[in-house]
Amino acid sequence: SRGPSPISLSTQEAWPVAAAITEYINAYFKGGQHNRCLVKITGDLTMSFPAGITRIFTANPNVPVLSFRLVNTSRVDHFLPNQKLLYSDPSQSDPDTRDFWFNMQALQLYLQREAELNPQASYYNIALLKYQVSSQDPGRAPLLLSAECQRSGTVTRVSLDYHCCPATAPSTQLAAVQVLLPLDHTATDLQCQPPASWNAEERRLLWKLPNISPTNHSKGSGTLCASWQCLEVPRGPPPSLAVQFLGSGASLSGMDVQLVGSRYRMSLVKKRFATGKYMASCSL
């Protein structure tokens, strides 16, 4: 992530740091029902330090401790902090916040090493912690899916209904939306609505959709259909569809980060998310 601007820092002003929250969402929608859903979100918190801060740390024998607070954490099941750099108090009573503070000596050593390895860098990124959210609540998924498969002799027809879930990321567009459908190697007479591109090598259909917006109803939902013929009557399970998308400006877990104290200031918190495995199985 783009870190805080590489300004010349004085020892009097509040020293800037920046943070990035990056999340990956995995979801599995079972058998044609968007409300039968398993969701797992994995996230990373990274902090960026301007190169000039290493000089200030070196010039100050008693560097103030940098502390931060994660808020809206009640849905997070599991934290994995960088134990070389961070301390936390596991006995905190508020389930919706979690406080961490740096081992300042370890932080200074890390930044000095980074400065020696990358003397031209204007900022340094440090991975601070990973976390996980698991849920069976479809409201945690930004795009709800419902897939159906109909078979008649050697003809198979698959449809996918999708619609945006505004509760998850109310103001965030889903971008780079793609839907992938693998097909039997004998599939012929392919028909798609809307049109999809066919990858013969990977034997799959690909739909590329325009950005999906929860605030625009006409662009927040839709249906994809495909039908094809096989040489023999299909006997195996129906295909599953995979969906990919990206988003920025929000975290799907709802988590946010704040600095504690006045000696440092947060110049930027960048939030973004992407799909891991985001699948819908078909009901027959």
**134/132 Cα distance (integer angstroms):** 7
What the block records as the tokens of 29 is 């929608």
Report whether pLDDT(2) > 60: no
Cβ burial of 267 (10 Å; 0-12, 13-18, 19+) is: middle
What the block records as the tokens of 186 is 């004998």
Question: Is residue 182 reached through a cis peptide bond, with omega within 30 degrees of 0 on the bond before it?
Answer: no
**227/157 Cα distance (integer angstroms):** 4
**85/97 Cα distance (integer angstroms):** 19
pLDDT 10s digits, 240-281: 999 999 999 999 999 999 999 989 999 999 999 999 999 999
Report whether pLDDT(219) > 80: no
Compute how many other C-beta atoms are within 10 angstroms of the C-beta atom of residue 78. 10
Residues 6 or more apart in contact with residue 281 via CB below 8 angstroms? 28, 29, 30, 31, 147, 238, 240
Asked if the domains 15-137+249-281 and 142-246 are classified in one and the same CATH topology, the answer is yes
* pLDDT for the residue numbered 170: 61
pTM as predicted: 0.89
Query: Is residue 81 within 8 Å of residue 32, measured between CB atoms?
Result: no
pLDDT 10s digits, 119-131: 999 999 999 999 9
The fourth-level CATH superfamily of domain 15-137+249-281 is Mu homology domain, subdomain B (2.60.40.1170)
Phi/psi of residue 111, each to 5°?
-65, -35
Q: Give helix then strand counts, H and E, for the chain.
A: 2, 17
Helix intervals (H) in 37-175: 52-59, 104-117
* pLDDT for the residue numbered 169: 62
Query: Is residue 211 within 8 Å of residue 174, measured between CB atoms?
Result: yes
C-alpha distance across the termini of the chain, in Å? 44
CA 43 to chain CA centroid, Å, is: 7
Over range 106-110, report the average pLDDT.
Answer: 95
Work out whether the CA dihedral 169, 23, 72, 136 comes out positive or negative.
Answer: positive
State the pLDDT confidence band at 8, using cuts at 50, 70 and 90. Answer: low
Domain parsing of the chain, residue ranges: 15-137+249-281, 142-246
Nearest C-alpha neighbor of 139 from the set 115, 166, 175: 166
**17/35 Cα distance (integer angstroms):** 41
Report whether pLDDT(168) > 80: no
Report whether pLDDT(1) > 50: no
Report whether pLDDT(218) > 70: no
| Residue 174 DSSP class | B
CATH class assigned to 142-246: mainly beta
